[in-house]
Amino acid sequence: MKTSSSTPHDRGRPETIRQMFDEIAPTYDRLNRVLSFGLDRRWRHKAVELLSGKVGGSFLDIAAGSGDVALDLGALRPRSIVASDFAFNMLSVFRKKLGTAHREGVALVSCDAHSLPFRDASFDGTIVAFGIRNFADRLRSLQEMLRVLKPDGISVILELTQPTLPVAAQLYRAYSRWGIPAIGKFISKNSSAYSYLPSSISKFPDEREFLSLMTQAGFTSPNATPLTFGAATIYSGRKR
């Protein structure tokens, strides 16, 4: 279950947030697997599949973290991939992965998702996985995603959400309250990061609210696909 190492998540203390994610960078991937019981891989693959109509295109992975999504984008035989993130240490982890995988054609950029340093209509698709809940201004970040998309481009957003089925919701609340902070502290030695995770999920808009936000940002026909009883949700939208 993945936290994000993306942009300044809190307007008042961006450096503190970035420092937190920089500190957990070495154990980031291991914690993702453990906390999600390995489901994060399946969720990412499903999100990337929504971009399959843009095979051979150019893609932007926002809040790329340690690069798992950007690596998955390689299945689309892309012309180019740009992976952006706010936390330098996370990009360093990704850079090591690229060397091990002998991947070329992936550009790493440190930037803020609220002000992407790319020209209008630069990408066929954008994707952000487990990151947008941490953005200080979600509407602005969505508007930036739309701006850098080419006409008919697709934006995909994969985010951790709260299950709605009663039994699943009850189990999730117990796991969030005790399990996630305890496991996160044990593996990463950072208690604040994995106490922050359940809090950030609980404050994220519900499906109806977020779809409305995507419409407000300018996306056409936004869609939501709940995964694993609603523990994660994939949102997608197109640019006219």
Residues 6+ positions from 116 with CB-CB distance below 8 Å: 60, 62, 84, 144, 145, 147, 148
Contact assessment for residue 142 and residue 213, using Cβ atoms and an 8 Å cutoff: yes
Residue 67, SS3?
Answer: coil
Q: What is the pLDDT at residue 105?
A: 81
pLDDT tens digits along 99-121 = 876 577 899 999 999 999 999 99
Helical segments of the chain, H only: 14-24, 28-35, 39-49, 68-72, 88-101, 138-148, 166-174, 180-188, 191-202, 207-217
More confident residue, 135 or 31: 135
Is this prediction's pTM over 0.85?
yes
Q: Domain spans of the chain?
A: 14-238
* Residue 233 token pair: 């949700």
pLDDT tens digits along 179-212 = 988 888 888 877 677 788 888 889 999 999 999 9
62 pairs with which residues across the strands? 128
14-238 has which CATH code?
3.40.50.150
**d(C-alpha 147, C-alpha 51), whole Å:** 17
DSSP secondary structure code for residue 221 in this structure: E
Residue 161, SS3?
Answer: coil
pLDDT at 42 over 70: yes
pLDDT at 1 over 50: no
